[in-house]
Amino acid sequence: MFALEIDFKDGISPPETILVRRPHAIIGNGEYAHVVVEGAASGLSEFRVTRGIGREFRCHAVRRSSADNRQPGFLEGAYKGNAELNLGEVTAHLTPLDVDLQIQSSESPDRAGLRILRSSLNHSSPMFPAVVVLGPVPLFLSFRENTAVFVGRSRKCILRLDASDVSRE
């Protein structure tokens, strides 16, 4: 999970904060983007964000064709904690969030807020155990020992995989 804050430099649009509820996402204005930045020029670079161990994550420029070289090289990198990416017309602020610090389906918002506050004050970010998904861009998902990790294509799943051969939950 990530908190993504997008600052538009047009002087009109207010910043937007988005909760990305997946350990990997494509951000940009293309047709395959999980988070679409509307109103940005077509020259906006698309990038993929993937979680690493603990609070680490990586950014990779998404290239749609071999002739597409307009992505800036600084998009490629590893970060720990927060990252600020200047993408021309917009600035993206990324913060990785622990998977156990989200509202459970049966929880009221006030109880969830209290549980999340207590947990974040009493425990450091989890490192291990972790799940690794291998592929062209491997991703990691760290979680606490007592956390149930559901894997599938459903929005209910903590580890969402976009593949037709993966079951819903």
pLDDT at 62 over 60: yes
pLDDT of residue 46: 79
> Coil, strand, or helix at residue 57?
strand
> Coil, strand, or helix at residue 122?
helix
Task: Assess contact for 59 and 46: CB atoms under 8 A.
Answer: no
pLDDT of residue 44: 64
pLDDT of residue 43: 59
pLDDT digits (tens, 9 = 90+) for 6-42: 888 888 888 888 888 888 888 887 777 888 887 555 5
pLDDT digits (tens, 9 = 90+) for 125-149: 766 776 777 777 777 777 777 777 7
Q: Which domains, and CATH codes, for the chain?
A: 1-169 (2.60.200.20)
Which ranges of 19-163 would DSSP assign to H, the alpha helix?
Answer: 109-122
pLDDT digits (tens, 9 = 90+) for 75-114: 678 888 888 888 778 888 998 887 766 777 788 888 888 8
The total of other beta-carbon atoms located within 10 Å of residue 58's CB is 20
pLDDT at 3 over 80: yes
Query: Which position has the higher pLDDT, 73 or 161?
Result: 161
